[in-house]
Structure 1
Amino acid sequence: MLNQDFANNGFMHLDRLLSFDEVVGLRKVYDTLLEDKKLTAGLRSDLSGNNTKSQAVEKITQIMLPSRIEPRLLQQQVYLKALRWAQNLLGDDMALDFDMLINKAPLTNTETPWHQDAAYWIDLPDKRSVSCWIALDDVYEENGCMWFAPRCDTNLLKHTHSKEGGALTIDVSPKNGRPIPLKAGGCTFHDGFTLHYSKGNSTNGPRRALILNYRPHKMIALEREQGMDHTGKRQFRK
């Protein structure tokens, strides 16, 4: 049934991917990376578009390739568990393309607008992909849980920057989107053409998420041949 949800709609969720102990272990590594701007320099940005030195608080911190900074992350069970699900959903040739952290700081109340992840990626002949979005805190509407709109096709919509240096957005908001609240350790899976969104964090607590993206081995090799390793200045397809 879950596999059918993904096939029909482009997304699904699991109430429990990780145990509480696994979540606690990930939080420790996560918080170390969040606090150390020197260690994460060059792989870190604020998806709200507020990337100036005068900005005291990062509203939506994105850290690309955290496992490159902290290789011990790759030893965590979450990477193996998510890979098994990715292969179950899309085939045995699925492999980890990249990982990232996205944190919404308390009381920043900054939304991530509706978008498709494929707008950030180069065009590939095999378009299979799946992102596993793992909640490391309980997530709900008020602190920025994921919203999804069922995917009808694999067309890429026109995207623009809502703010220079910030996240991409489309011009309209889907009317059939719905929130997916989760307990810490739960996760969602979505493909690159599925529209998704999250509200800002208006609560006193953090909203920490680990995202693991999977695609076929051959497409990862093709990306690397074309210089795409998910670092550097953010590019997008128009």
Structure 2
Amino acid sequence: MRKDFLTTGFVKLDTLIPFSEVEKLRVLYEDLLNDKKRTEGLRSDLGGEEENKNTVEKITQIMRPSLIESKLSESMTYELALNHAKKLLGDDMELDFDMLINKAPHTNTPTPWHQDAAYWIKMPDKRSVSCWVALDNVHAENGCMWFIPKEDELLKEHRPHTKGGALHCETDTSNAQCITLDAGGCTFHDGFTLHFSRGNTTDGPRRALILNFRPKKMIEFEREQGIEHTGERKVRNNS
């Protein structure tokens, strides 16, 4: 896995957690999705802002959910993902932040092509890995991940795809790979790896838990500059 990750910028793990753990996480996940008061200030729609506030959120993002629901970080998922992150990039890797990203049924809103590093400040140590855990069976029709093998650590120019929505960049997608997963499986990807997912056109939800890891010193570097991954979504790093 380490060799493949360092070569392409992403890897797939068929099973990170057992289905019994998936079921526990789903309960916590749904409680957070349905509680707009408790998630206020951490919650947004990656699909963009709507004038009608009664509109269903297309791509619900809740940042740092374990800050308000400690049972999340107490689950085996966080420990197992951290163990893999250390094997991929070194023993100094630690959890920087977590987030929930949900695509509601029949919202059909893609997450555009982007590199996660565009959301982050520049750091002297660029090592990072995000663990994308599927809490539902994911495929092209409900929004599984697509990756383009990483060739370098160059960051493309990013801009918001829609007002208040996710960042995106222009790129050649001819080499993109569709990564399907069963619930409990995951992918690991680098911060400079281009990725995307289609909208959810199915009757069911597409629930994902994402854990981001980077060197402990780089987390301290971020916090010293006030970066806690809870604020406004914007381009922070365009070079």
TM-score range, shorter chain: over 0.9
Which residue of structure 1 aligns with residue 82 of structure 2? 83
For residues 73-130 of structure 1, the C-alpha deviation after alignment (integer angstroms, 9 at most, x for no partner) is 1110000000000000000000000000000000000000000000000000000000
* CA separation of 1:92 and 1:51: change in aligned 2, threshold 3 A: farther
Which residue of structure 2 aligns with residue 33 of structure 1? 32
For residues 176-212 of structure 1, the C-alpha deviation after alignment (integer angstroms, 9 at most, x for no partner) is 0011000000000001000000000000000000000
Which residue of structure 1 aligns with residue 22 of structure 2? 23
The CA RMSD over aligned residues, in Å, is: 0.9
The list of structure 1 runs, each at least 4 consecutive aligned residues, that deviate by more than 4 angstroms after superposition, is none
- Please tell me whether the aligned partners of residues 45 and 51 of structure 1 are also in contact (alpha carbons under 8 angstroms): no
Which residue of structure 2 aligns with residue 207 of structure 1? 206
- Please tell me whether the aligned partners of residues 114 and 173 of structure 1 are also in contact (alpha carbons under 8 angstroms): no
For residues 217-238 of structure 1, the C-alpha deviation after alignment (integer angstroms, 9 at most, x for no partner) is 0000000001100011112123
Which residue of structure 2 aligns with residue 133 of structure 1? 132
Please tell me the residue identity of whatever aligns with 2:151: C
For residues 157-182 of structure 1, the C-alpha deviation after alignment (integer angstroms, 9 at most, x for no partner) is 00111111100111234210011000
- Please tell me whether the aligned partners of residues 50 and 58 of structure 1 are also in contact (alpha carbons under 8 angstroms): no
Q: Give the CA deviation at 1:55.
A: 4.3
Which residue of structure 2 aligns with residue 189 of structure 1? 188
| Distance across 2 between alignment mates of 1:173 and 1:113 | 13
Q: Which runs of 5+ in 2 are unaligned?
A: none
- Please tell me whether the aligned partners of residues 58 and 105 of structure 1 are also in contact (alpha carbons under 8 angstroms): yes
- Please tell me whether the aligned partners of residues 116 and 192 of structure 1 are also in contact (alpha carbons under 8 angstroms): yes
1:142 is paired with a residue whose SS is coil
| Distance across 1 between alignment mates of 2:114 and 2:84 | 23
| Distance across 2 between alignment mates of 1:19 and 1:146 | 20
Tell which deviates more after alignment, 210-219 or 169-178. 169-178
Which residue of structure 1 aligns with residue 115 of structure 2? 116
Please tell me the residue identity of whatever aligns with 1:130: V
Q: How many residues in Structure 1 have an aligned counterpart in Structure 2?
A: 237
Q: Give the CA deviation at 1:53.
A: 4.6
| Distance across 1 between alignment mates of 2:215 and 2:89 | 9
Please tell me the residue identity of whatever aligns with 1:123: K
Please tell me the residue identity of whatever aligns with 2:104: A
In the superposition, the TM-score normalised over structure 1's length comes to: 0.98
2:212 is paired with a residue whose SS is strand
- Please tell me whether the aligned partners of residues 167 and 234 of structure 2 are also in contact (alpha carbons under 8 angstroms): no
In the superposition, the TM-score normalised over structure 2's length comes to: 0.97
